[in-house]
Amino acid sequence: MEEIVDAISRAAVRIKRAIEFGDTSYSKSLNKTGDTQLKLDIASDLIIEEEFKKTLCVKAIISEEKETAQTLNEDGKYIVGYDPLDGSSLIDVNLAVGSIFAIYEKEADAKFITAAVYVVYGPRTEMVTAIDDVKLYRLDESSNFKEIKNIKLNKKGKLNASGGTQKGWADYHKKLIDDIFADGYRLRYSGGMVPDLHQILLKGGGLFSYPSTTDAPKGKLRLLFEVFPFAFVFEKAGGKAVDGKKRLLELEVSHIHDTSPCFFGSGDEIERVLNEYAKH
């Protein structure tokens, strides 16, 4: 696992530089989800591929920016699913973005997730690893990630990050979100799941939701490289992650680019979600 975290750290330093000084324009290609790729999405994907190629333990990689899985080393133990640049449409407005990694053993399946890592490129570059516990690292002046602290969620938080096109929300979802705001929660939503979830994790808790909507019935966020890794992080930090009815880490994947509605948060907020959704 150390070899994988090292590869991610090296990739993160290179991606950070690419974000700061690279070409931020769009390419002519679409990815599997139908998004027009930024040149930076493609560059970040290649950087990560290059760094994983230097490891022996990565058997295959599955990227948001690649149509199919790519085998690197038949004898490797791990399959890594990743979103090389999450929130890349926020680059032109200079908001924080991230990279997300899920490390699977045997198969790319929630049952086999053994670790998750994400990197936030903000005013500072930070990395969070969830292996046995959840640890925050920060990039120092010598381009090394220095351990800062462990991350643990409170039972209840104060922040509400509610995603998805609101006019496409179900009535009961709207009621859930309205009730949460009515209880004094504050809106925190930048449109980048990495900084939005990072904020909830570091400020002790709250709720992030990306529900089923009429325009995206299966949500928007992808299971293998966005939803499962964050579900793993939240559970390891003492929080919960569900699709409205069940644990996200119990969902099956039929295609590598499958998506799911998702809710991440501390215990109390997720209980509210489950209670409201159970009625429908």
Task: Pick one of ligand AHG, Mn ion, none as the site partner of residue 45 (Cβ within 5 to 8 A by kind).
Answer: none
Say if residues 94 and 113 touch (Cβ distance below 8 Å): no
- Closest contact distance (angstroms) between CB of 110 and ligand AHG is 19
- Closest contact distance (angstroms) between CB of 278 and Mn ion is 29
Distance from C-alpha of 6 to C-alpha of 9, rounded to nearest angstrom: 5
Say if residues 45 and 84 touch (Cβ distance below 8 Å): yes
Task: Pick one of ligand AHG, Mn ion, none as the site partner of residue 192 (Cβ within 5 to 8 A by kind).
Answer: ligand AHG
Task: Pick one of ligand AHG, Mn ion, none as the site partner of residue 24 (Cβ within 5 to 8 A by kind).
Answer: none
Distance from C-alpha of 264 to C-alpha of 220, rounded to nearest angstrom: 14
Number of residues that bind Mn ion (CB under 5 A): 4
Task: Pick one of ligand AHG, Mn ion, none as the site partner of residue 191 (Cβ within 5 to 8 A by kind).
Answer: ligand AHG
Task: Pick one of Mn ion, ligand AHG, none as the site partner of residue 163 (Cβ within 5 to 8 A by kind).
Answer: ligand AHG
- Closest contact distance (angstroms) between CB of 164 and ligand AHG is 6
C-alpha neighbours within 13 Å on the C-beta side of residue 204: 6
- Closest contact distance (angstroms) between CB of 112 and Mn ion is 21
Say if residues 117 and 5 touch (Cβ distance below 8 Å): yes
- Closest contact distance (angstroms) between CB of 88 and ligand AHG is 5
Minimum CB distance to ligand AHG smaller for 49 or for 83: 83
Give 71's strand partners: 60
DSSP 261: -
Options 51, 86, 126, 243; binder of Mn ion; rule CB under 5 A: 86
Minimum CB distance to Mn ion smaller for 49 or for 83: 83
Between 267-278 and 171-182, two packed helices, what is the crossing angle to 10 degrees? Answer: 140
Longest dimension (CA), the chain: 54
- Ramachandran quadrant class, 175 (left: phi over 0; alpha: psi -120 to 50; beta: rest): alpha
Q: Is 235 in the site for Mn ion (CB under 5 A)?
A: no
Distance from C-alpha of 8 to C-alpha of 26, rounded to nearest angstrom: 25
- Ramachandran quadrant class, 75 (left: phi over 0; alpha: psi -120 to 50; beta: rest): alpha
Residue with tokens 């070409």: 23
- Closest contact distance (angstroms) between CB of 120 and ligand AHG is 11
Residue showing the smallest CB distance to ligand AHG in the complex: 193
State the residues that interact with ligand AHG by CB under 6 A: 35, 64, 83, 86-89, 163, 191-193, 220
Minimum CB distance to Mn ion smaller for 221 or for 251: 221
Q: Which residues bind Mn ion (CB under 5 A)?
A: 64, 83, 85-86
